[in-house]
Amino acid sequence: MSRLGSRYMPKHWEINMQQRLDAMKVSPAAFKAMAGLQAYVDQSGLERSLLELVKIRASQINGCAYCLVMHTADARKLGENDERMHLLNAWREAPVFSERERAALEWIEALTLITDGHVPDAVYQQARKHFSEKELVDLTAAAVAINSWNRIAIAFRATPQLKIAKAAA
């Protein structure tokens, strides 16, 4: 490990990135329940491209490499460009997102970082300007789903499906 990495990495973090277990095989019923929620979100009527943007943003916040690889690939298939995806980490300063996308990104951040003070009224009011009540419930279900998937992937170290050569061990 580099000096920089060891200096800033908490002592309890491990570098070993081998998958711990395959949660889907170990507990198919849990996967089926999660897949049910995901199916609802996917059929909710919210724009697929918007859903992928919020999945990417939540996965960035949570540090889920598996989900970042998956959802950036899915977003590209829907026509999303790399520039906008690269700017998701700084969406407030990037003029490439619509007001609806900005409201969704702010909502997903508030839900993902819920311990930072719950969801502020101003965030809710902004989201309500751009989403119907049902859409906001569906966007919240999307937040619940991606944050749950992130936690499963992180807990059991799901291995990202990369197209590039694996880094040297």
- 3-class secondary structure per residue, 79-123: CCCHHHHHHHHHCCCCCCCCHHHHHHHHHHHHHHCHHHCCCCHHH
Rounded distance, CA 67 to CA 48, Å?
Answer: 16
Residue listed under structure tokens 């949570």: 62
CB 127 within 8 A of CB 103: yes
List per-block mean pLDDT (blocks of 10 residues) for the chain, which spans 169 residues: 42 61 82 95 97 98 94 96 96 97 98 92 98 98 96 85 59
Rounded distance, CA 151 to CA 64, Å?
Answer: 8
The model carries a pTM of 0.84
